[in-house]
Amino acid sequence: MKRTHNPNKSQIHRSYTVEDVALRFGVHKRTVRNWIKKGLAICDDKRPLLILGTELRLFLQQQRKVHKRKCKPSELYCLKCREPRLPEQYTIEFIEETSTKGRVMAACSVCNSLMNKYFKLENLTSIQRDLAVILPLQQKHIG
Write down the least CB distance from residue 20 to Zn ion, Å. Answer: 43
Residues with Cβ < 8 Å from 15, sequence gap 6 or more?
43, 50, 51, 52, 53
Q: Which stretch binds Zn ion (CB under 5 A): 34-42, 49-57, 110-118, 128-136?
A: 110-118
Tell me the C-alpha distance between 120 and 135, whole Å. 16
Compute the least distance from the CB of residue 79 to Zn ion, in Å.
Answer: 8
Among 65, 80, 101, 129, binds Zn ion (CB under 5 A): 80
Q: Is 94 left (phi over 0), alpha (psi -120 to 50) or beta?
A: beta
**Residues 40/56, Cβ–Cβ less than 8 Å:** yes
Piece of 1-9, 15-23, 87-95, 103-111 that binds Zn ion (CB under 5 A) = 103-111
Q: Which is nearer to Zn ion, 40 or 108 (CB)?
A: 108
- Asked if 60 is part of the footprint of Zn ion (rule: CB under 5 A), the reply reads no
